[in-house]
C-alpha cells in the first residue's frame, strides 16, 4: 500500500476505517486488581527496566487531588471561609461591574465580570469541585459570547487503577501521518502555525539509532519510501517528568493516571518546561492560535483540548478527553497499520502489557531516568 500524505496535500484520506479496537481501558474489577497488583510492584509493570509505576492506590474517585494537595487546599481555604484571594477578587469584580454599568451595556457587563472571575481563578489543582464547575460554565458562556461553537468541557478525574501507557511498532508504521492529522483535529491544534504534537521521522534502514541522528522529520514525499523505517514521537508522559519539576508556578503536573497536563490559564509562558523536556514534546503558542469555527472539536477536557490562548504552553495528553472516557487516543484510533498500542499498564490483560512482556521494547534516552511510558518495539 502506498499513499501520499493526504492531509498535507488537502485531499481526503481513502483508507479502510480503523478496526474496532477493544482494549480494556477501564480497570479490571476490584478483586482481580488487588490480586494482580498488590503482591509486588514489579508485577504491576512488566517493562524491561522498572518504570516506577505504583500499584493502584485504593482511593475513592473524588479524593486523589485532595490527598495530593492537602496542604494547598488548607492554605487556599482558611478557617474563616474566605481567602485573601477571594476578597481581592470580589473587590475587583465590584470595580469592574461598576465600570461596566457606567458604560450601560449588559452584555459587556457580563463579559467583563466573567473575564475578571476567570482572571482571578485558582490553579485547577487546588480548585474545589464547585469552582471547577463554575469556571467551566464561564468558559462555555464566554465561547458562546464570542459566537464560537459551544464547547462541552469535562473535568473528569483520573480513573483509579489506571495508568496509561503507549507502545509504537516501528516495523508496522508506514509514515502515513494519519495519526498527526487526527491529532490536529481532535485536539484543536493551531492551524495557523501548523502545530503538531506528533512528530514523524523517516530513517534510512541501517542508519537507525536512538539519537535520531539520521532521522528526517520534514520528509514530504510518497510513503512508504523504499528502504526506510518510520518512527513517531509525542509526549511520552514520563513517570518522572522534568518539565513538571521546573515549572515555577505549578501550572503543569502529572495526574494519577500518569498523564502530564497543563493548566492553560495558570501557565505564565516562561518556557522553562520546554527547555527541560528531553523529548521535544512541548509546544508554545507564539501567536494567538486559530481553529476555524467549523473545525472545532466541541468535546473537550479542561486539561486537554480546550481553547488555548497566545503565550501559553500545551502538549499531548494522550487525548485525556477520550482516554478517560474509555476511548483510544485519536492517533491510536486513526493509525491504519496497527502500529500504535495504547492501554492500561495496570491491567495484566491489556495489549500494552502483552507487548511489554513479549516484545523487545526500548525507550528513548533511558539514561536520563525520566521513565517515559512510551515504548518502541519491532516485530
Partner 1 sequence: MTPLQDRTLFRFFRDVLRHSVTGSLRYHLWMGSLTFLMALGTYAYLIQLNKGLGVTGMSDYVSWGLYISNFTFLVGIAAASVMLVLPAYILHDVDFSKAVLIGEGLAVTALLMCLAFVTVDMGGPHRLWHMIPKIGYFNWPQSMLTWDVIVLNGYLALNLLIPFYILFSHYRGRSPKKALYVPFIMFSVFWAVSIHLATAFLYAGLPSRPYWNNALLGPRFLASAFAGGPALMILILHFIKQNTDFPIAEETIRKLALIVTVAAQINLVMLGSELFKEFYAPTHHSQSATYLFFGLKGHKPLVPIIWTAILLNVFATLLFTFHRTRNNKPILLVSCTLLFAAIYLEKGMGLVVPGFIPSPLGEIVDYFPTWIEIAVTIGIWALGFFVFTLLVKAAIAIEKEYETHHRSEPH
List contacts with ligand SF4 (CB under 6 A).
246-247, 249, 251-252, 262, 267-273, 313
Residue choice 18, 224, 269, 298 for contact with partner 1 (CB under 8 A): 269
Is residue 70 involved in binding partner 1 (CB under 8 A)? Answer: no
236 binds partner 1 (CB under 8 A): no
Q: Are 251 and 294 in contact (CB under 8 A)?
A: no
Check residue 132 for interaction with partner 1 (CB under 8 A).
no
Q: Which among partner 1, ligand SF4, none contacts residue 286 (Cβ within 5 to 8 A by kind)?
A: partner 1
Pick one of ligand SF4, partner 1, none as the site partner of residue 334 (Cβ within 5 to 8 A by kind).
Answer: none
Kindly give the interhelix angle for 84-103 and 106-119, rounded to the nearest 10 degrees. Answer: 160
CB 241 → partner 1: shortest distance, Å?
Answer: 11
Give the position of cell 477571594: 86
310 binds, among ligand SF4, partner 1, none (CB under 5 to 8 A by kind): partner 1
Which of partner 1, ligand SF4, none sits in contact with 283, Cβ below 5 to 8 A by type?
A: partner 1
User: Closest distance between partner 1 and the C-beta of residue 232, in Å?
Assistant: 11
138-197 positions binding partner 1, by CB under 8 A? 193
Helix (H, G, I), strand (E, B) or coil at 186: helix
Residue 318 to residue 97: CA distance in whole angstroms: 40
**CB-neighbour burial class of residue 223 (10 A; exposed 0-12, middle 13-18, buried 19+):** buried
Q: What does each C-alpha distance from 261 to 6, 97, 255, 313 come to in angstroms?
A: 30, 33, 7, 10
Count the Cβ atoms, other than its own, within 10 Å of residue 325: 14
262 binding partner (options ligand SF4, partner 1, none; Cβ < 5 to 8 Å by kind): ligand SF4
Edge-first strand listing for the sheet containing 340-344? 340-344, 164-169, 374-377, 361-362
Query: At closest approach, how far in Å is the CB of 108 from ligand SF4?
Result: 30
For residue 62, say if its preceding peptide bond is cis, omega within 30 degrees of 0.
no
40 binds, among ligand SF4, partner 1, none (CB under 5 to 8 A by kind): none
Q: Using alpha carbons only, give the angle 55, 56, 62 rounded to the nearest 5 degrees.
A: 155
CB atoms < 10 A from the CB of 304, how many?
27
Told to check if 290 binds partner 1 by CB under 8 A, we report: no
> Quick one: 202 or 265, whose CB is closer to ligand SF4?
265
Give ∠ CA 285-258-143 in degrees, rounded to 5: 40
Task: Pick the stretch among 21-29, 168-176, 177-185, 261-269 that binds partner 1 (CB under 8 A).
Answer: 261-269
Binding residues for partner 1, rule: CB under 8 A, are 72, 75, 84-85, 88, 123, 125-126, 193, 199, 201, 211-213, 215, 217, 233, 242, 245-251, 266-272, 274-280, 282-288, 310-313, 365, 368-369
Amino acid at each position: 500500500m502506498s499513499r501520499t500524505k493526504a492531509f498535507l496535500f488537502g485531499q481526503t484520506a481513502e483508507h479502510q476505517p480503523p478496526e474496532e479496537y477493544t482494549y480494556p481501558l477501564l480497570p479490571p474489577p476490584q478483586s482481580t486488581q488487588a490480586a494482580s497488583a498488590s503482591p509486588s510492584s514489579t508485577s504491576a509493570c512488566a517493562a524491561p527496566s522498572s518504570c516506577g509505576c505504583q500499584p493502584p492506590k485504593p482511593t475513592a474517585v473524588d479524593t486523589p487531588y485532595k490527598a495530593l494537595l492537602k496542604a494547598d487546599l488548607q492554605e487556599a481555604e482558611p478557617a474563616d471561609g474566605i481567602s485573601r484571594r477571594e476578597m481581592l477578587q470580589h473587590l475587583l469584580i465590584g470595580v469592574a461591574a461598576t465600570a461596566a454599568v457606567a458604560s450601560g451595556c449588559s452584555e459587556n457587563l457580563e463579559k467583563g465580570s466573567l473575564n475578571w472571575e476567570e482572571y482571578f481563578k485558582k490553579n485547577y489543582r487546588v480548585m474545589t469541585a464547585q469552582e471547577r464547575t463554575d469556571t467551566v460554565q464561564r468558559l462555555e458562556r464566554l465561547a458562546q459570547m464570542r459566537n464560537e461553537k459551544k464547547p462541552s468541557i469535562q473535568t473528569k478525574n483520573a480513573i483509579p487503577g489506571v495508568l496509561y501507557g503507549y507502545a509504537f511498532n516501528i516495523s508496522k508504521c508506514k509514515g502515513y501521518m494519519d495519526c498527526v492529522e487526527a491529532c490536529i483535529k481532535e485536539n484543536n491544534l493551531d492551524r495557523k502555525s501548523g502545530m503538531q504534537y506528533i512528530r514523524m521521522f523517516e530513517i534510512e534502514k541501517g542508519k537507525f539509532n536512538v539519537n535520531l541522528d539520521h532521522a528526517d522529520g520534514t520528509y514530504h514525499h510518497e510513503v512508504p519510501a523504499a528502504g526506510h523505517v518510520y518512527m513517531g514521537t509525542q509526549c511520552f508522559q514520563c513517570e518522572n517528568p522534568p518539565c513538571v519539576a521546573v515549572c515555577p508556578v505549578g501550572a503543569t503536573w502529572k495526574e494519577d493516571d500518569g498523564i502530564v497536563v497543563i493548566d492553560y490559564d495558570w501557565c505564565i509562558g516562561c518556557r522553562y518546561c520546554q527547555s527541560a523536556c528531553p523529548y521535544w514534546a512541548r509546544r508554545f503558542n507564539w501567536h494567538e492560535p486559530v481553529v476555524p469555527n467549523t473545525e472545532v472539536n466541541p468535546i473537550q477536557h479542561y486539561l486537554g483540548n480546550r481553547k488555548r490562548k497566545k503565550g501559553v504552553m500545551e502538549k499531548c495528553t494522550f487525548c485525556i478527553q477520550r482516554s478517560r472516557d474509555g476511548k483510544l487516543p485519536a492517533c491510536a484510533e486513526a493509525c491504519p497499520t496497527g502500529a500504535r498500542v495504547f492501554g492500561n499498564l495496570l491491567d495484566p490483560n491489556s495489549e500494552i502489557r502483552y507487548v511489554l512482556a513479549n516484545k523487545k521494547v526500548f525507550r528513548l534516552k533511558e539514561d536520563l531516568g525520566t521513565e517515559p511510558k512510551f515504548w518502541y518495539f519491532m516485530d
